[in-house]
Amino acid sequence: MSHLKNNLVFSSLTILLVTGGSLGLAQSAHNKVSSQKLEAKNVNQVSNYSGDIDLLAVSQPTTPTTNNGQINSAFINRFNNAVILDSKTGQFSINQKTLPINATKLELTELDKLISQSNVSLKQTILEVPKANVVQDGNSVVIGDSPKTAEQIAKGTSVQAVSLFHEGSNYVHSYWWGKRVGVSRTTVRKVSTNITKGGQALGATLFFIPAPQVKAVGAAIGAASTILGYGMSYFPGGLVFNTTPNYLGSQVWDVQFQ
């Protein structure tokens, strides 16, 4: 009887061990399947994203402008690939597929505003400037005081004499965020003479600038020359500077000699 009881106990333990082992295997298999499902789900989530942005290297949100009203270079770099220039319409627009996926409402509002201002300014410029003086350069437009100047600036092939200061060229390089404006030494000095004479005289000097923007550009040139430490009347060389789409407040930055 004792022998039979021991056999029953042994059999029960065997069943428990086998059952426990089976449950362990089943649980392991379940975990493996769940892991595979989760992995597949994650792969599908990534593959469904149609943008061209590296999800592991998305830039971080930033303030569109600096404290003094200049366009933040980090903001420009962050959205540069998300704006295109339509060669048919001559207008900037947003490419939704290449917008940063973490773009903030503030950033998008400022982006829309800058593009709108740039489009108005660019359209106005193209209407008033000879077509031969306008050259599209990728997602930007160069307006020169002559076809040769526009072509050289667009291609980056302008030749300057080897000296400390150069005469420089007159041009406006229009981007979605604003403009890069080049003014020759001769023009800077003429602006000094004509800026107080009124719109007509200044307009004749800055003939490559649309009439409604001439006064603002004249003020911007004055601000830029001051930053470089020279008076306009004896300015030693051509200069170049960044400004907002509509030259708002004569705001200039990244001022340099040409």
User: Using CA atoms in the order 100, 104, 107, 111, what is the torsion angle rounded to 10 degrees?
Assistant: 60
- pLDDT for 76-104, tens place per residue? 999 999 999 998 889 999 999 999 999 99
The answer to whether residue 246 is domain-embedded is: yes
| Predicted TM-score (pTM) of this structure | 0.74
| Shared domain check, 146 and 234 | yes
CA dist 38 and 30 (Å) reads 12
Q: CB under 8 Å to 177, separation ≥6 — which residues?
A: 71, 75, 76, 114, 118, 245
Q: Are residue 123 and residue 135 in the same domain, yes or no? A: no
Range of the domain at 222: 131-257
Residues 147 and 218 in one domain: yes
Task: State the sign of the Cα–Cα–Cα–Cα dihedral 54, 50, 52, 111.
Answer: negative
Whether 87 contacts 137, CB under 8 Å: no
Q: Which of 89, 106, 128 is the last residue of a domain?
A: 128
Residues 110 and 177 in one domain: no
> What would the mean pLDDT of 136-149 be, rounded to a whole number?
95
> Looking at the domain assignment, is residue 224 inside a domain?
yes
A 10 A CB-CB count for 228 gives: 14
Percent of the chain with pLDDT over 70: 74
Q: Are residues 100 and 114 in the same domain?
A: yes
- Return the higher-pLDDT residue of 55 and 154: 154
| pLDDT above 70 (res 222) | yes
Average pLDDT score over residue span 12-31: 37
Strand order in the sheet with 179-183: 134-137, 140-144, 171-174, 179-183, 239-243, 252-257
Q: Is residue 63 part of a domain?
A: no
Which tokens in the block code for residue 109? 């509002």
Closest CA to 195 of 157, 145, 233: 233
pLDDT at 199: 77
Number of folded domains in the chain?
A: 2
Residue 80 falls inside a structural domain: yes
